[in-house]
Amino acid sequence: RPHILLLLIGTHQFLQCWIAFGSVNEEGQKQEEFSEELLLKPLPDHKLLAHSHSQSSAPPSTSNGCHHHLFPKAISQLVQKFRVKEMELSFTQGRWNYESWGGFDPISSSNAKPPGVELWAVFDVPQHHIDASWKNLTHTLSGLFCASINFLESTATYSTPEWSFPPASGNVRYGTLPCEAVCTENLTPWLKLLPCRDKAGIALLLDRPSLYRGFYHSQRLHLTSTGSSSEGIDSGIILEQTLTVVLQPNSEMAIEVHASEKHIQPSWSLSSIFGKQVSGRYVLAKSSSVYLLLDRGLVAELKFPNKENGKSAANGLTSENFWSNPSFELSANPDRIFLEESSSHSKSLSILYMFQVEKYSESEPFDIGLMWKVPVAWFCQKTPLHASRFLMGSGNERAAIAISLKSTQFTEGFMSANSKDGSCELRVDVFQVVPWYVKVYFHSLRVFVDQPRAVSDIIEKIHVSPSKDKMSPGVMEVVLKLPCRVNTAALTIEFDKGFLRIDEYPPDANQGFDIPSAIISFPNFHASMEKCPVMSYTEVLLVPLTTPDFSMPYNVITITCMVFALYFGSLLNVLQRRVAEEERFLKAKAAKKTGRLPLLLSKLSAKLRGRRLEPLHSPPSSSSFINSKLVLKVILVAGLAVGWQYFFS
């Protein structure tokens, strides 16, 4: 019997895999699919972008009930329960450097996210249910991803973009948590959604220490479901999980300073940057491939042999032309090479090397490396306008937010393409959410453009929903139409720094308060074939608000208690005192012996009562004598004590 059990365990894994594989294959059209890709792209500033993309799709839930083979059950339940049509959740650490890492290509445009957590969702429920669904969704996601997404539940933190947010629809809810710290505890649940976690396939590379050593780290989860009951055709749920990392290969290289090698791009390989290699493909994945993308600017710099031969050669290219180049060397032969021509820059093209992981196995793991031989420098394609946002002003009362847009040289191509009619225009959408304690004065919105043009021509549309205290944030959506020749444009809007109640301050109130990133999108430009516009996020701003001294309540309590004690004490004193008797007693006492001080005091009290003092006929000399005698005695005793102490110590 133990023998059989052992055998069963031994074959268990294999059987399971086989069955799963079979089930995937036999269903034909309506199967659950999973595919994974890894894209590597050298960046101009000696860094490397690694972008892993895995997609699982599930057929409509009606076809096989609530059972799933590959698709994560948690997600499908979530979609069914809250009727999410589309949703995107991203966790980001670090900033995307739009200037040197580019912002135009699809990867940077859709994967560059603001720091912290960003969540938006489109619901397929009636209008009045949306907020409830959103609240439940935030709580669910918060539990699922070990993050404080549940803070997005309160109406003061999320907003309803009207039309500037890309999935333009009234059912969108959008919220961000700029100060959420992202770490492995968020990555692990994210990996759990993969069919094999990080145990096989490309996900094997996702080694935590090397991921979090990077300069930018963004994990994103995007799901689309068309599984609505109202529509006839279902395609189920598509879950896209992407992880974008910017890493510095060979960090020890950077220490060698001012040598000629400094300008050479560092050479890297998968094993050197991740410390791991891919040992074959994941058996359940439909496809699993690694891509190496050479940017347009880079390709233009590299001067491939075929380019010199002219355009005709580019058409009849052979693969050797592209991967044997004098300036770099690939450690593995690519399986396929794609050339991508862009619409605006017809001259330059980007090259995509594809490596299929299927061919490799445990004994012969896949590892790709890139060796640079000569220094190259290039630029990534930037967004048409570089957006940066900053705070203006000083003091604790008033300040202003400024969004400045600066032209990158990119627009020239666009301008030449569109300038036939003479009036070339560049549309820029600005979407800005401000928390309620930053009280924005929307009337103070000012637009500055360095071209002679009326402001009314520049602002095409504007939508503003003012904030309500403790209820909802302020939302500003502006559509600008800038002339293409614009060099700099700026938007400024003033705000008052609000006062919060003491219980509304977070525990770290002195850190300041965050204003979430503004979204700048350029609907004229599309990053990829699917018509999604080029987007960029601005910096998160930190507004130092006035904070109370948090020990103040205790001071106030103490002072109030003191005042109360004094008040009631004196009141009781006055109530129980018989003035006339008191005076008589005093007089009698004064007749006996009157010191200088009591006399003075009685005079003072009499004065304060507004009466004239009757002259006292008493010999003050004798009383002062007695008094001074007393004082002398006291001094004598004290002196004795001091002397005693001094003598014996």
Partner 1 sequence: MFVCRFESFDVYFSVVCCTAGVLALFLLPVLAKNTYISENALMPGSASPMLSNQHVSDGNRLVKDLTNPNSKSSETGIESHKIIAQYMLDLGAEVSFHKFHPQMNQFHPLHFFSSPDSGKIQENYSCSSYGINTVGIIRAPRGDGKEAIVLVTPYNALKSGFGEALSLGIAYSVFSLLTQVTWLAKDIIWLVADSQYGEYAAVAAWLREYQTPKFSSLSTPNAEMCPDVNNLFELKGHSISGSKFSNSFRRAGTMAAALVLKVRDQNEQFEDTINIYAEASNGQMPNLDLINVVNYLAVHRQGLRVNVEKLWSLLNSSWLKSLGEIFESLAKVAKSLYPKWKFGIPATEYVEGTATLASSLYYQALGVPTGPHGAFRDYQVDAITLEISPKFSLDKVWRNDILLRGGRLIEGVIRSVNNLLEKFHQSFFLYLLTSPSKFVSVGVYMIAFALLIAPLPMVAASLYVDANSSSNCSKGDSSIPSAITDTDEHSIAIRSWRWLNSAKLVFIVHLWGAIVSLLPYFISQIPDCSPTTSFMIWVLLSILSLLTLNSVLASPLACAKATQEKEWALVKSVTISSVFIGLGLMSVINFATAEIGALLMVPMCLLAQPLKLDVRAGTLRSFCRMICNLVLGHIAFPPAAFFLLKGMLDGFGNVNVGDFWMWVESLWAWNSATYLFIGMVQLPCWVLCISILFHTC
Binding of residue 14 to partner 1 (CB under 8 A): no
Two tokens at 86? 């589309």
Q: Which two tokens stand for residue 469?
A: 């205290």
Shortest Å, Cβ 51 to partner 1: 18
Identify the helix (H) or strand (E) that includes residue 309: helix 305-309
For partner 1, the binding residue among 8, 556, 634, 642 (CB under 8 A) is 642
Residues 264-283 that bind partner 1 (CB under 8 A): none
Residues in the chain: 649
Beta carbons of 482 and 428 less than 8 angstroms apart? yes
In a 3-state reduction of DSSP, which class is residue 92? strand
Please identify, using beta-carbon distances, which residue of 240 and 425 lies nearer to partner 1: 425
Q: How far is the CB of 263 from partner 1 (least distance, A)?
A: 5
Binding mask 202-231 for partner 1 (x = CB under 8 A): -----------x-x-x--------------
Instruction: List alpha helices for 386-462, DSSP H.
Output: 411-418, 455-458
Residue 150 vs residues 119, 146, 220: alpha-carbon distances, Å: 11, 10, 18
Query: For partner 1, which stretch binds (CB under 8 A), given 146-154, 420-428, 552-560, 638-646?
Result: 638-646
Output the smallest distance, CB 151 to partner 1, in A.
17
Residue 646 in contact with partner 1, rule: CB under 8 A: yes
Nearer to partner 1 among residue 181 and residue 371 (C-beta): 181
- Minimum CB separation from partner 1 for residue 535, in Å? 19
Quick one: 63 or 492, whose CB is closer to partner 1? 492
Query: Does residue number 570 form part of the binding site for partner 1 (CB under 8 A)?
Result: no
Query: By CB under 8 A, is residue 558 in contact with partner 1?
Result: no
For residue 186, the minimal CB distance to partner 1 (Å) is: 15
Closest separation between CB of residue 514 and partner 1, Å? 7
Q: Which listed residue (28, 65, 395, 610) binds partner 1 by CB under 8 A? A: 395
- 495 contacts partner 1 (rule: CB under 8 A): no
Question: Which amino acid is located at 126 in the chain?
Answer: P
- 607 vs 633, beta carbon nearer partner 1: 607
From 288-296, 318-326, 537-545, 566-574, give the range in contact with partner 1 by CB under 8 A. 537-545
Task: Choose the stretch contacting partner 1; rule: CB under 8 A; options: 34-42, 341-349, 373-381, 519-527.
Answer: 373-381
Between 332 and 399, name the residue whose CB sits nearer to partner 1: 399
Q: Is 64 exposed, middle or buried (0-12, 13-18, 19+ CB in 10 A)?
A: middle
Q: What are the two backbone dihedrals, phi and then psi, of residue 334, each rounded to the nearest 5 degrees? A: -70, 150
3-state class (DSSP) for residue 548: coil
Report CA dihedral (438, 465, 159, 182) to the nearest 10 degrees.
-30
CB atoms within 10 A of CB 464: 15
- As measured in angstroms, the least distance from the Cβ of 510 to partner 1 is 4
Quote the least distance from Cβ 490 to partner 1, whole Å.
5
In the list 388, 418, 624, 627, the residue contacting partner 1 (rule: CB under 8 A) is: 388
Q: Which of 206, 185, 209 is nearest to 197 (CA)?
A: 206
- Decide: 345 and 410 in contact? Cβ < 8 Å: no
Contact call for residue 374 and partner 1 (CB under 8 A): no
Site mask, partner 1, residues 609-628, x = CB under 8 A?
----x---------------
Q: How far is the CB of 615 from partner 1 (least distance, A)?
A: 8
| Contact characters 152-181, partner 1, x per CB under 8 A | --------------------------xx--
DSSP 380: P
Among 45, 162, 358, 460, interactor with partner 1 by CB under 8 A: 45
Longest dimension (CA), the chain: 131
In whole angstroms, the minimum distance from the beta carbon of 180 to partner 1 comes to 10
Cβ-count burial 397-426 (b if 16+ within 10 Å, e if not) = eebbbbbbbebbebbebbeeebeeeeebbb
CB of 69 to partner 1, least distance (A): 38
Residue 510 interacting with partner 1 (CB under 8 A):
yes
We find the least distance from the C-beta atom of residue 47 to partner 1, in angstroms, to be 10
Task: State the Cα–Cα distance between residues 185 and 206, nearest whole angstrom.
Answer: 14
- Residue 348 is encoded by which pair of tokens? 């330059």
Among 450, 464, 498, 533, binds partner 1 (CB under 8 A): 450
- Report d(CA 302, CA 214) in Å as an integer: 27
Contact between 393 and partner 1 by CB under 8 A: the answer reads yes
Subset of 90-119 contacting partner 1 (CB under 8 A): 93-95, 97, 99-100, 115-116
- The answer to whether residue 441 forms part of the interface with partner 1 (CB under 8 A) is no
Stretch that binds partner 1, among 199-207, 434-442, 448-456, 496-504 (CB under 8 A): 448-456
Q: How far is CA 211 from CA 49, 109, 387, in A?
A: 11, 21, 28
> Considering CB under 8 A, how many residues would be counted as binding partner 1?
66
Of 298, 449, 534, 535, the one binding partner 1 (CB under 8 A) is: 449
Q: How far is CA 221 from the centre of its chain?
A: 15
Residue 613: name the closest of 600, 624, 601, 603 by CA.
603
Residue 65 vs 452, nearer CB to partner 1: 452
d(CA 594, CA 588): 10
Burial 201-228 (b: 16+ CB within 10 A, else e): bbbbbbeeebbeebbbbbbbbbbbbebe
| Comparison of 636 and 642: residue with beta carbon closer to partner 1 | 642
Q: How far is the CB of 215 from partner 1 (least distance, A)?
A: 5
CA distance 380 to 386: 13
| Residue 377 found at the interface with partner 1 (CB under 8 A) | yes
- CA distance to 114, 193, 198, 245, 412, per residue, from 188 (Å): 21, 9, 9, 16, 44
Got the DSSP string for 550-567? TTHHHHHHHHHHHHHHHH
Tell whether residue 587 is a contact of partner 1 (CB under 8 A): no
Among 317, 391, 462, 586, binds partner 1 (CB under 8 A): 391
Provide φ and ψ at 539, rounded to 5°: -70, 155
What is the binding site for partner 1 (CB under 8 A)? 44-46, 93-95, 97, 99-100, 115-116, 178-179, 213, 215, 217, 254-255, 257-258, 262-263, 375, 377, 379, 388, 390-396, 402, 406, 446, 448-450, 452, 487-488, 490, 492, 508-512, 514, 539-544, 547, 600, 603-604, 607, 613, 642, 645-646, 649
